[in-house]
Amino acid sequence: MSITYNQENQVFSIQTANSSYQMKVSRHGHLLHLYYGKKISDEDVSWLIPNVVRSHESNPPEAQRDRVYSLCALPQEFSSNDAGDYRIPSLEVVNADGSYAFVGKYRSHKIYQGKYRLSLLPTLYAKEEENAETLEIILEDEITHVSVKLLYGVFYDRDVITRAVVLRNGADSPIYLKRIMSASLDFMEGNYDLIGFFGHHYFERQMDRRPLSHGISELGSFRGVSGHFHNPFAILCDRNAGEDSGSAYGFLLMYSGNFVFDAEVDGYSQTRVAMGIHPKQFDFFVDSGECFEAPEVVMAFSEQGFSKLSHCYHDIFRENACESRFVNEDRPIVINSWEPFRFDFDSEKLLKTAEISKKLGADMFVLDDGWFGARDDETAGLGDWVANEKKLPGGIEALAQKIHALGMQFGLWFEPEMVNEDSDLYRAHPDWCLRVPKRAPSRSRHQLCLDLSRPDVCEHLIEAVNSILDTGCVDYVKWDYNRYVCDVYSQYYAPEKQGEIYHRYILGLYRILDGIIKTHPDILFEGCSGGGGRFDGAMLTYFPQIWCSDNTDAPSRLTIQYGTSFAYPVISMGAHVSVCPNKKTGRSVPWKTRAVTAMHGTFGYELDPAKMSEEELAECAAYSDFYRRHRKLIRQGDYYRLSSPYDDSIFTAWQFVSKDKAESLVCVVTESISIMDKNSYVRLRGLEKEAFYEVAQTGKVHSGAALMNIGILLSDSQPQYSAFVYELKKV
């Protein structure tokens, strides 16, 4: 049993293989958060709460003359509002009488085998054979009868606990929900660093570590999408935590829209963290008897630093997120038309490309943007999902047939959520996009956002995309999304419902993904959003892989992929080899460096093979073969960051180790030329100390201990941005 309830002292204990979590119902019925961290027993640890009067703090009426009992001093599991806890509230509702008060008190609980699911939002799931349990605790406000069901999903072996909340309006009248945090946690003491992953288009998920200090630190997005700017993943860790040591807590929101992660250090140096839907412009009407689901937070704890934390997330996202069969299959090596051709192509050019790309070892040809409607540039055609017969006589089916005849699979790009004003769809339904009455909408990339809060728009999109996919000629879909949301107003809903639109958009998006992706189990879907602008856990329940960034410059990719790897498995990252000088950065690096960097992901090409020499084609074909040989290890193995691209280090290196530790692949890109002036060793990790490994590239055999404590000597004199690989096999 990973979840227990001790009736006598009203303590809930959650155990995973290497962590413990504890809550207790206080003598007045408040649910206290006692502990999350290194393994302890199920004993009641409420003695950790000091018995002191905090002057000026409020005491709830039931405490009577007891000045010690204060909601602001006690660690809370789901904090109240307007009742004397001045820290970040978990919930803010406006009750029928106009008051904002909410105080949840314990009512009941349930413990059962298996993992809960939500009805409208994506969550992790547990396989039948897995050791997963659920705890549901109901807290209710005694006066208003607004209640919350706190959900805990426990994956014992994976050291992961998920949390979600379902609010129920048990009052006789409607309420307005202004804020609902999916998870919040109180730490009684500690000095923590907060790690977030920030960036922008072409520069996603850059690691940002800062010491928490008094006050509120916030990460979040208010762009209608999880976004390029901050990822819905945060780490709270010891000041000295590193890859192998120190305590680290991960918080990851399974949601693709506006989000917030707050960390508040109060005047007594207690820390509260809270994560959920961003409360800005969020105002949800919940009628009497109705419920509202708040998305899931995936929490993991590691007492052995970031590698262990990442392994928890990698394993759970590889095994318990996406139910597509492709999750457990080798991914095709694709060649994509976007970087070489943009909008300038016809069937002949595409077929020639597909033909030559066989020489590169590609398995699949992907036709990106520009194949539909009047789409000759960014200004027209979005929304019209019908092939442009001028470019593609006979349409998609005819092209797909010819590609298949070459022995290649065929993939196709869509951006279903958007519309150009210059499109048949917009001309027929100008009211189908988000726009504020009397105001002209803001364009971004010349496009507007369709109003996915409308059921009729969702049904239209499902039908339009499915009409092509149902022909059976498409093996892969790249699902793109190329702007942020604004002008958030839906003509479908009454004025008082407009605070619901951001969230309803996301619910509409999941409805569409269910209607398209889940009804096409034999198509591999890749997510994308102007590169990696919607790389989040919820998307990974639909897409086994997501295009990581539009920046295909290998050195730039080192930091992008490094940051992404803290939460997301390497096999979820779309990564391609492109031409040099790189179109974005103008930088030139060798083919090998581009290939090794793209092997930190799904590996593919984004170039015109007709412009490559026979030598270049042969060189790349060898990299494709190399990837093919190792793609199972890359997909399934444990991943280690061997050095940070931000450190003043000579190289950036990473390593894959098979679960049985019998084989390993080490990849290195030199970032400075000082490899010629200074001895450099790549210290490996995750091997068996006592075992011996043969390194194919050197022909030498070393013990795991030597490889991990001394490392592999980088001895060749190579210029900056050279790449090395080392294949290890246990002997």
Q: Which residues are catalytic?
A: 536, 616
169 Cβ contact partners less than 8 Å away, ≥ 6 residues apart: 146, 175, 286, 287, 288, 289, 290, 291
Structure tokens at 627: 């990837």
Interface stretch with ligand DGJ, choices 88-96, 209-217, 322-330, 528-536 (CB under 6 A): 528-536
Cβ closest to ligand DGJ, residue 217 vs residue 549: 549
Interface stretch with ligand DGJ, choices 45-53, 128-136, 492-500, 526-534 (CB under 6 A): 526-534
**Backbone phi and psi for residue 511, each to the nearest 5 degrees, phi listed first:** -60, -45
Cβ closest to ligand DGJ, residue 499 vs residue 531: 531
**Backbone phi and psi for residue 597, each to the nearest 5 degrees, phi listed first:** -70, -40
Radius of gyration for the alpha carbons in the chain, expressed in angstroms and rounded:
27
Whether the CB-CB separation of 522 and 214 falls below 8 Å is answered with: no
Task: Rounding to the nearest 10 degrees, give the CA dihedral for residues 533, 536, 538, 539.
Answer: 50
Does 373 help bind ligand DGJ (rule: CB under 6 A)?
no
Q: How far is the CB of 340 from ligand DGJ (least distance, A)?
A: 12
| Per rule CB under 6 A, count of chain residues that contact ligand DGJ | 11
Cβ closest to ligand DGJ, residue 482 vs residue 670: 482
Does 547 help bind ligand DGJ (rule: CB under 6 A)?
yes
Residue entry with tokens 């004397």: 84
Whether the CB-CB separation of 455 and 512 falls below 8 Å is answered with: no
Chosen residue from 69, 255, 413, 591 binding ligand DGJ by CB under 6 A = 413
What's the Cα-to-Cα distance from 551 to each of 325, 559, 589, rounded to whole Å?
Answer: 29, 11, 14
Cβ closest to ligand DGJ, residue 382 vs residue 516: 382
Cβ-based neighbour number of residue 118 at 10 Å: 16
Q: How far is the CB of 150 from ligand DGJ (least distance, A)?
A: 38
Residue 235 pairs with which residues in a beta bridge? 195, 250
Structure tokens at 671: 């970032």
Cβ closest to ligand DGJ, residue 363 vs residue 550: 550
Does 417 help bind ligand DGJ (rule: CB under 6 A)?
no
Cβ closest to ligand DGJ, residue 95 vs residue 551: 551
Instruction: State which residue has the least CB distance to ligand DGJ.
Output: 369
Whether the CB-CB separation of 724 and 650 falls below 8 Å is answered with: no
Does 555 help bind ligand DGJ (rule: CB under 6 A)?
no
Cβ closest to ligand DGJ, residue 412 vs residue 612: 412
CB neighbour burial string for 577-609, b if at least 16 within 10 angstroms, e if fewer: bbbbebeebeeebbbbbbbbbbbbbbbbbbbbb
Cβ closest to ligand DGJ, residue 92 vs residue 608: 608
**DSSP code for 105:** E
Helix (H, G, I), strand (E, B) or coil at 590: coil
Q: How far is the CB of 606 from ligand DGJ (least distance, A)?
A: 8
Does 516 help bind ligand DGJ (rule: CB under 6 A)?
no
Task: Report which of 11, 258, 286 is spatially closest to residue 147, judged by C-alpha positions.
Answer: 286
Q: How far is the CB of 532 from ligand DGJ (least distance, A)?
A: 8
CB neighbour burial string for 625-654, b if at least 16 within 10 angstroms, e if fewer: ebbeebbebbbbbbbbbbbbbeeebbbbbb
Interface stretch with ligand DGJ, choices 179-187, 398-406, 527-535, 671-679 (CB under 6 A): 527-535
Rounded to whole angstroms, the Cα distance separating 209 from 195 reads 4
Instruction: Count Cα atoms within 13 angstroms, Cβ side, for 588.
Output: 2
Q: How far is the CB of 128 from ligand DGJ (least distance, A)?
A: 37
Does 365 help bind ligand DGJ (rule: CB under 6 A)?
no
Chosen residue from 122, 276, 531, 686 binding ligand DGJ by CB under 6 A = 531
Q: How far is the CB of 351 from ligand DGJ (least distance, A)?
A: 20
Does 414 help bind ligand DGJ (rule: CB under 6 A)?
no
**Backbone phi and psi for residue 220, each to the nearest 5 degrees, phi listed first:** 175, 180
Window 437 to 496, contacts with ligand DGJ (CB under 6 A): 480, 482
Chosen residue from 550, 553, 638, 671 binding ligand DGJ by CB under 6 A = 550
Interface stretch with ligand DGJ, choices 115-123, 150-158, 349-357, 523-531 (CB under 6 A): 523-531
Chosen residue from 199, 381, 383, 530 binding ligand DGJ by CB under 6 A = 530
Chosen residue from 69, 338, 372, 562 binding ligand DGJ by CB under 6 A = 338
Chosen residue from 369, 451, 500, 526 binding ligand DGJ by CB under 6 A = 369
Rounded to whole angstroms, the Cα distance separating 707 from 685 reads 8
Residue entry with tokens 């060649």: 335
Q: How far is the CB of 413 from ligand DGJ (least distance, A)?
A: 6
CA dihedral sign, ordered 341, 347, 352, 356: positive
Does 603 help bind ligand DGJ (rule: CB under 6 A)?
no
Structure tokens at 432: 């189908």
Q: How far is the CB of 200 from ligand DGJ (least distance, A)?
A: 13
**Under the rule (CB under 6 A), what is the footprint of ligand DGJ?**
338, 368-369, 413, 480, 482, 528, 530-531, 547, 550
